[in-house]
């Protein structure tokens, strides 16, 4: 090849488009993380309310000598049981909706502008694993916070407050 020939990829030719797509992806990740964070706080609040309703039972467990770690594990398991089911159902529903969109094209786009009739969707395994990991980390964090708060309740306070 001679020195006068330059080869450029589509990414070189459309650098601003590639940068815009990267920023869009980053924005999507930030928004989804905020949604996960709100869901985690909702889970912590729900577990705290359940804990308040069960404070008498926790007081009895502590009076019988149950270790703090055991009480925390109960609350964490309860959180995983409730929120884990929701996360798994949401994950499966998201995959199914993506497959349905690709098969039937439920979200149409103007074909005269984009040269396709419907919005194509692609599932990347790395993204799926990341979503699962982040959601379960938030579930663990929210459950741990609620369990720690309840487990450190004093026996006399738990039994008096529950009357």
Residue-range definition of the domain harbouring residue 129: 39-161
The number of distinct structural domains making up the chain is: 1
Q: Is residue 14 part of a domain?
A: no
What average pLDDT is seen over the chain?
Answer: 85
Q: Is the pLDDT of residue 154 over 80?
A: no
Q: Is residue 44 part of a domain?
A: yes
The mean pLDDT of 13-30, rounded to a whole number, is 87
Q: Is residue 27 part of a domain?
A: no
Q: Is the pLDDT of residue 91 over 80?
A: yes
> pLDDT by residue (tens digit) across 70-82?
888 888 898 889 8
Q: Is the pLDDT of residue 103 over 90?
A: yes
Strand partners, 108: 118
Q: Is residue 83 part of a domain?
A: yes
Residues 6+ apart with CB under 8 A from 139: 40, 43, 79, 80, 83, 84, 87
Q: Is residue 8 part of a domain?
A: no
């Amino acid at each position: 090849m001679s020195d006068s020939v330059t080869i450029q990829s589509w990414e070189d030719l459309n650098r601003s488009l590639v940068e815009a797509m990267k920023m869009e992806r980053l924005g999507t990740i930030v928004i989804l993380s905020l949604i996960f964070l709100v869901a985690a706080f909702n889970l912590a609040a729900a577990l705290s309310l359940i804990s308040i309703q069960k404070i008498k039972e926790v007081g009895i467990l502590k009076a019988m000598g149950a270790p703090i770690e055991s009480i925390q594990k109960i609350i964490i398991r309860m959180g995983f049981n409730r929120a884990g089911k929701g996360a798994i159902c949401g994950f499966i529903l998201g995959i199914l909706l993506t497959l349905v969109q690709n098969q039937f094209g439920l979200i149409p786009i103007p074909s005269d502008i984009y040269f396709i009739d419907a919005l194509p969707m692609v599932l990347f395994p790395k993204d799926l694993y990341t979503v699962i990991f982040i959601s379960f980390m938030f579930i663990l964090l929210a459950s741990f916070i609620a369990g720690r708060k309840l487990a450190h309740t004093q026996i006399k306070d738990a039994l008096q407050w529950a009357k």
